[in-house]
Structure 1
Amino acid sequence: MIETKPRTLELASRISARALLLSLMRDWQGWSIGNGDGASAADSGSPRHVLKLPLAGREIHVALTHLSQVGAHGLRPPFYEIGPEGAMRVVSFPELLNLITAEPGIAGADSDVRGLVFLRRALDSLATIEDALRHPCLGEAVFAERDPSFIEAEQALRFGHNVHPTPRSRDQFTLEDTRRFSPEYGRGFALHWWSVSPQIVLQGSSRGQAASEMAASLTIDDPAMEPAIRRQVDEGRVLLPMHPWQASQLMLDPAITRLMTAGDIRALGPAGSNWHATSSLRSIHAAHAAWMLKMSLNLRLTNSQRIIEPYECERGLEIDKLLAGPVGQRIAARFPSFRVMGEPGYLALRDETGATLRSTIVVFRDNPFSGDRQHSPVAVLAALCEIGPDGRSSALSTTIGRIASRQGSAPAATALAWFERFLHNVALPLLGIQADHGLLFGAHQQNIVVGLDDGWPVTLHFRDCQGTGYVREFLPELAAQAPDVRLEAGHVFDSAYAARLAGYYLIVNSVFSVIGALALAGLASEERLLAALRAALLALAAQPLRDRTCLDYLLTSPTLLSKGNFMICFRNINENTDVTDPLAGYVELPNPIAGARS
């Protein structure tokens, strides 16, 4: 029999099915795991275990290649429908989607309209992943022979959220939009520039430079910028950098049309050097620029409409001020591997009534990877942990293989050493800051940028300060140390609540993804990695900390909370506007840390 290379659609289906089923297994209890006897006569060798899904009076089986304590199971399609008397037939991924959407135990009784939206997004995500597989932009040397640069690692994340039913859905984007503006294609684009009257500008800054000056500096520092753009500042106008897709959308907004008719907005068109999307898509980077830009986009990605709210901008300013003072100085002294990409400025426009036009908001973010530092070796954690189409390999496993080959060490020993350094330099500082300073960072995989030194994790660059929160019990002390900071502008949670949020973002979403990537590649057992994690948490808890609530939760709770991405997505909830309680829609998972043993 001649073996053929899997088609890109088959690979995209495998990737999509894994993300879908991992999210479903967190939200729904109807599945089971059984032995593989008789699961599939077509499989080469009976699988040891199969995942069983009872759907609409039938049972769907798929082989399991890896049973995971951290939710990072390995799956090996195809899917089989098991009929009466053991009859089997292969079920395609789109058909599996239909069956799941129609299952009352999953979708509920009143699911017709929601089910159609869900199916559209899931199939759109599948098509987007398939197209990305057909148009790779990175060379094989990245990760295999050297560490990536910041933007290379952002472009390496191709498949989206690893535990989500529609990991690459992008409502409102056409295929051409996706190819032009998504990081995984590696294409750049020029910003569109608007010249606006100062009286319609809303701006804020936490530093000595006004946000309007930050925008003007982007044109001054850009060697390809047309002089006519820069001259707008000399005329007393404010320059507003716009994402080209958003600029085209806003041209249809009546409020923008009125401002243009009145002369308050002049659309100057595209100008200057190319910018590149980062893995969040709405945040963009240019090698020449001192600032990254985070844009409002009238676009739904996974669970949220990506419109920035004014209060999010204010949170970014306040945490920037806090970290610039005594609190930040103490954190820097104690955790030298921890850095923050501050968000010290924002610009927005007002309509004729003075109301903020949220779709015009632009946030300025520190860019530590520009100029001479543009090639600094770093990688967003989500790209390191992304599992390849083979269901086993990842950029992290490739990196560890490179380290082991260079040092002549065993890959298993290298993987454990890498994980321990990751805990020391990346994860534990976040927990220590929460325990001793009362700051809660939303450290999911996409917000953690790992500084690398010949593959080893040495620093943490945290981004997206607008979601940063404070532990309520620390507020009096923080207020005394930073009287000029409006702490009430941020999220405020009591210590038990903050522990559960950190448990999801840092541990379940981030650390467990590292464990899963190493285990799926066969580099280390989950038991050994969990034991190392527990030992590191115990060592931190033994220190004289102000608040051990989060560490106690991680070490002793029988369950950990996890975001229920499947149901949030299926119910078409916009997390930005429809959720007032951040833990609404979370589900309980067994806590593998509590029982881990050396």
Structure 2
Amino acid sequence: MDALLARRVAETHSLQAVLNGVLREFDTGSTITRHGRHFCFLALGSDVLEIEVTYRSATGWHRFGQIRLCRDDVWRAAAFDDVLDFVIRLIYPEPASHLHCAALLDRMRSSCAGIAQALSERAPRSSGPAGSSAADPDDPFLAAEQAAVFGHFMHPAPKSRAGMTSAEAEIYMPEFGRGFALHYFLARLDAVREWSATDRLPSHLFSALADDMGIQLPDGYALLPAHPLQARYIRATGAADAWIADGRLVDLGRRGPAFFATSSVRSVYAPGLSYMLKFSIPVQLTNSWRVTRPHELVEGPMMAALASAWDLRAAEPNFHLVDDWASLAVRGLESDRGGFETIIRANPCQDSPSPLVQVAGLTADPRPGRPSLLARVIADTAASGAIGLPAAARLWFRCYLDHVVRPLIRFYSRFGIAFEAHQQNMLIALHNGLPVAGYFRDSQGYYIEESLCAAASQATALAASCRNLFYPADEIRTRFGYYLMANQVFGIVARLGVDGLLPERDTLAMIRDALQRTHDECGARGRAFIATLLADEIAVKANFQTRSDDLDELMVAGERAIYLRIPNPLASAGALHVAA
């Protein structure tokens, strides 16, 4: 795609996310229907923004056509910067004096530029130990991880980034589809801190990796893999100079197998390895700096140990926990932009008999001229089953509810453990294109009822270092309800609707039916949660307000983001609202 067209497409999708956020969080606007076309109006003093609504969604994931601006009683087509200027003035009554105004505007523009860069044609890159290589086009896991070119559908700056150059983005952002070698160091073992849910420590695992790469480990040293961005930061700041000078740290450079960024950017995947790696990187993506904090190094091993002690993995045959079973760090090289923190995650693709795809990849808007990944999956299902597309879509969604959504609710009902089950954290196993199981990943995304704190501490000593995973039941219902329903399930509802595969009235009715059946299978905890999902209002995360306040939610005590309540489409399935 040439640069001019890429820019136009990027602006269209960027404004879609911006305006959906405004309509949800700041101003629902007024609506009219004129000659069969739907319009939403936002007023700011004497200025009026007219937005053509080409697809109205009960979930709030609307699609927009032409946008016009009326100023001084003169109507004209609104350019990208016209809309951003209008939105800034709507959010900040006195933008010139507001501390975060310029930062938000810069983030929205840079996000759009990042999308345009990903859409533009890219020169092929050579593979090699220190270079990059293209992903296998037949790997369904990677295809889904790399599909979210446009980012979060309800965020004002979904592809904003700081701490990474444009050239680095082409290598390390997943949508560019490039693999890269990691940067390796040797570190004295007495400086390495390690945590594990098993008898196998990270240094043992990386010793085997050293053998595979032909590296002979000196006695008393451990191999440390690092993300190239983090290695660059550590060397550039001089933090490790003294360590390298006296031999406590040895820089081996970039080498070894190619790894590929997953959708979180800092978690990387190498086909064929039994594990994935999650690093600290000195990069701010959307709202937060992607740095692993000390307590996060313990949370993964703690949850893996708890899963074994409480036999959590056997509870739901169709639901699987992806363990972040071990981690390491180097004493004395920590910083506010991270050091050598590394989390080791099991590679679920190794054990799953069916291909795994993340939900965010299924729901992502496709590149121009292509169908969405979910539409392709359903088309293949229809063809293989010799059934029509609507029937295939209905079958797919029913399997998804039965094998992914309902097991999550039953699990919470039984154990009091819930999940940050947003689209990036949930993987779906597909057999002949149909969902057969769900996988949850991310040790930061567990919510355990605080009444279970003592029992968890008895099950594993690591729980004493993970108090921030324990929450009051009402707060868990709010968070779990947003991530599971408003983010994940409603995202699929909107995708099916936008693609013309299944009307939202039908999918919302199917959700209500699935929740009723699950209600009958649950105890009091699960039934209270289902009541939350069917209430007149549902909690949603205020991504726009979080960004406009320049809030890094991962650095707030308890990682407590801003939430607000909106009309719940499940309370009256079938009712469509221009403003969700």
Q: Would you call these one fold, judging by a TM-score over 0.5?
A: yes
CA drift of 1:5 comes to: 13
C-alpha distance in 2, partners of 1:164/1:391? 24
Question: Superposed, which structure 2 residues align to 1:82-481 within 5 Å?
Answer: 82-85=70-73, 87-103=74-90, 105-106=91-92, 112-135=98-121, 148-220=139-211, 222=212, 225=213, 227=214, 230-232=215-217, 234-329=218-313, 332=314, 334-351=315-332, 358-370=338-350, 377-388=355-366, 393-475=371-453
Contact 1:148–1:379 under 8 Å retained in 2: no
- Counterpart of 2:12, as a letter, is R
Contact 2:359–2:488 under 8 Å retained in 1: yes
What CA deviation, in whole Å up to 9, does each residue of 1:46-103 have, x standing for no partner?
5621121223531111211111111111211x32012455x32111112211221133
Question: Superposed, which structure 2 residues align to 1:552-567 within 5 Å?
Answer: 552-555=531-534, 557-567=535-545
What CA deviation, in whole Å up to 9, does each residue of 1:178-206 have, x standing for no partner?
00111111111111111011122111111
C-alpha distance in 1, partners of 2:309/2:449? 18
CA drift of 1:33 comes to: 2.2
Which of 538-547 and 307-316 deviates more? 538-547
CA drift of 1:507 comes to: 0.5
C-alpha distance in 1, partners of 2:48/2:148? 33
C-alpha distance in 1, partners of 2:9/2:353? 31
Match of 1:586 in 2: 563
C-alpha distance in 1, partners of 2:371/2:30? 26
Contact 1:284–1:294 under 8 Å retained in 2: yes
**Change over 3 Å in CA distance of 1:158–1:376 after alignment to 2:** farther
C-alpha distance in 1, partners of 2:336/2:75? 58
CA drift of 1:106 comes to: 4.7
Aligned CA-pair RMSD: 2.7
Contact 1:563–1:583 under 8 Å retained in 2: no
CA drift of 1:6 comes to: 8.5
Task: List gaps (5 residues or longer) in structure 2.
Answer: 125-136, 576-580
SS at match of 1:241: strand
Match of 2:132 in 1: none
C-alpha distance in 2, partners of 1:483/1:128? 44
**Change over 3 Å in CA distance of 1:476–1:411 after alignment to 2:** same
TM value normalised by structure 2: 0.90
CA drift of 1:574 comes to: 0.8
- Counterpart of 1:231, as a letter, is Q
Task: List gaps (5 residues or longer) in structure 1.
Answer: 38-45, 139-145
Q: Does 1:68 align with 2:57?
A: yes
Match of 2:21 in 1: 23
Match of 2:512 in 1: 534
What CA deviation, in whole Å up to 9, does each residue of 1:9-31 have, x standing for no partner?
11111111111111222210252
- Counterpart of 1:197, as a letter, is R
1:9 pairs, out of 7, 10, 16, with 7
Match of 1:595 in 2: 572
What CA deviation, in whole Å up to 9, does each residue of 1:253-279 have, x standing for no partner?
343222222321111101111111111
C-alpha distance in 2, partners of 1:432/1:209? 32
- Counterpart of 1:460, as a letter, is G
CA drift of 1:528 comes to: 1.1
- Counterpart of 1:432, as a letter, is R
CA drift of 1:296 comes to: 0.1
What CA deviation, in whole Å up to 9, does each residue of 1:575-596 have, x standing for no partner?
111x225554111111111222
What CA deviation, in whole Å up to 9, does each residue of 1:212-237 have, x standing for no partner?
112223333x4xx2x2xx312x4321
CA drift of 1:478 comes to: 5.1
CA drift of 1:208 comes to: 1.3
Match of 1:80 in 2: 68
C-alpha distance in 1, partners of 2:301/2:222? 20
Q: Does 1:489 align with 2:466?
A: yes
SS at match of 2:570: coil
Match of 2:131 in 1: none
- Counterpart of 2:507, as a letter, is L
C-alpha distance in 1, partners of 2:396/2:378? 8
C-alpha distance in 1, partners of 2:47/2:258? 53
Which of 166-175 and 470-479 deviates more? 470-479
**Change over 3 Å in CA distance of 1:137–1:424 after alignment to 2:** farther
SS at match of 1:125: helix
SS at match of 1:18: helix
2:39 pairs, out of 35, 50, 53, with 50
Q: Does 1:498 align with 2:476?
A: yes
CA drift of 1:34 comes to: 2.2
CA drift of 1:425 comes to: 0.9
C-alpha distance in 2, partners of 1:576/1:206? 24
CA drift of 1:396 comes to: 0.9
Contact 1:30–1:54 under 8 Å retained in 2: no
Contact 2:111–2:158 under 8 Å retained in 1: yes
C-alpha distance in 2, partners of 1:199/1:231? 18
CA drift of 1:368 comes to: 2.5
C-alpha distance in 2, partners of 1:137/1:31? 44
SS at match of 1:360: coil
Contact 1:150–1:374 under 8 Å retained in 2: no
C-alpha distance in 2, partners of 1:254/1:153? 38
C-alpha distance in 1, partners of 2:58/2:21? 14
C-alpha distance in 2, partners of 1:107/1:289? 53
How many residues are matched? 560
Match of 1:143 in 2: none
C-alpha distance in 1, partners of 2:370/2:32? 22
Match of 1:40 in 2: none
CA drift of 1:107 comes to: 6.0
CA drift of 1:474 comes to: 4.1
Match of 1:42 in 2: none
Match of 1:41 in 2: none
TM value normalised by structure 1: 0.88
Contact 1:322–1:485 under 8 Å retained in 2: no
Which of 456-465 and 383-392 deviates more? 383-392
C-alpha distance in 2, partners of 1:136/1:355? 35
C-alpha distance in 2, partners of 1:137/1:538? 52
C-alpha distance in 2, partners of 1:66/1:576? 34
Contact 2:61–2:153 under 8 Å retained in 1: no
Which of 534-543 and 486-495 deviates more? 486-495
C-alpha distance in 1, partners of 2:543/2:374? 24
C-alpha distance in 2, partners of 1:448/1:320? 17
